[in-house]
Structure 1
Amino acid sequence: MKNCVLCAEHLRSEEGELIWRGDDCRVILVNDPDLPGFCRVIWNRHIGEMSELTFGEREVLMSLVLVVEEAVRHIMQPAKVNLASLGNQVPHLHWHVIPRYQDDAFFPGSAWSAKVRETSAVILQARKAKASGLPAAIRAAISQLH
């Protein structure tokens, strides 16, 4: 699809750091200053809904989502991990894997809620440092799937 930001090759590097790319999916570490460790698992082919995938494709996608969630839990040690597949604004199949903390800017609301606080720069810097370990952890976990 021409106007899809997730399909446009030239935009992929702008959405975050590419951690891993396979034939069907890719995993991005999102550039989000308020939520370090926020990852996105994106289906490469443009489709809008999970039900458009074959059963085998669903298994591939959800296995990746769960591997990313486990890595985020292990590395980031959040209070909670949010998993979301919305597609209201970007109707291209993708999953958000978001580490959440009671002191994050949006807690207890969603990552798309209005900010209710500012997280201290010291805490955000510590979380960014932790998030730097996610690419290697996620790639290692994905390599165990095959």
Structure 2
Amino acid sequence: MSNNCFYCQKNEALDELMIEICELEASTLYLFKEQTYRGRCLVAFNGHKNELFDLTDEERDLFIKDVTRAAKAMKLAFDVNKVNYGAYSDKMPHLHFHLVPKYEDGPGWGGTFEMMPSPKVLLSEEEYTQLIDKVRENL
């Protein structure tokens, strides 16, 4: 765990960006509050590691299983045409994957998703709850 990492601390900075959906085997699944890409989620490894090669074989296998499980749940929940996977962490060194649903008639189709689109698409608490429930139903 790192004192400077909001994924480790699960603090207010994290809460401003995303909502926890659930704990998985090796990670935590979040719904991004910014919803330009309807259903966008993030899977963060439980433990302060930054690279896939920093994980043991068992940790890596469980983490990738979590990423796959979350992506499949998004596909089923939202009828996604393609899930884009983003594994950055230049500025926030903690292993995590952005899972960005792409729709043929939606923003960014055929290109790279925008990390922080503008203007932001924010939802009501009820709408976030509906998205979270759909993901949970399909995990």
Q: Is 1:108 aligned to 2:107, yes or no?
A: no
Q: TM-score, normalised by structure 1?
A: 0.74
Deviation digits for residues 56-98 of structure 1, max 9, x if unmatched?
1111101111111111111111221112212223221001111
Deviation digits for residues 101-138 of structure 1, max 9, x if unmatched?
133232322222796xx9xxxxx99x979734434225
Matched residues in 2 for 1:114 and 1:40: separation? 14
Residue 85 of structure 2 corresponds to which residue in structure 1?
A: 83
Matches within 5 A, 1:127-138: 131-138=131-138
> RMSD over aligned Cα, in angstroms?
2.9
- Report SS of the residue matched to 1:41: strand
Residue 10 of structure 1 corresponds to which residue in structure 2?
A: 11
**8 Å contact from structure 1 (residues 35, 99) kept in 2:** yes
Matched residues in 1 for 2:24 and 2:129: separation? 26
Matched residues in 1 for 2:15 and 2:54: separation? 26
**8 Å contact from structure 2 (residues 85, 99) kept in 1:** yes
Q: 4+ residue stretches of structure 1 with deviation over 6 A?
A: 127-130
Matched residues in 2 for 1:43 and 1:28: separation? 11
Q: Choose 1 or 2 for highest CA Rg.
A: 1
Residue 97 of structure 2 corresponds to which residue in structure 1?
A: 95
Matched residues in 2 for 1:101 and 1:73: separation? 11
User: Which stretches in structure 2 are left out of the alignment for 5+ residues?
Assistant: none
Matched residues in 1 for 2:4 and 2:84: separation? 28
Matched residues in 2 for 1:40 and 1:114: separation? 14
Matched residues in 1 for 2:81 and 2:6: separation? 31
User: Which stretches in structure 1 are left out of the alignment for 5+ residues?
Assistant: 119-123, 142-146
Shift in CA distance, 57/114, structure 1 to aligned 2, threshold 3 Å? closer
Q: TM-score, normalised by structure 2?
A: 0.77
Q: Percent identity?
A: 24
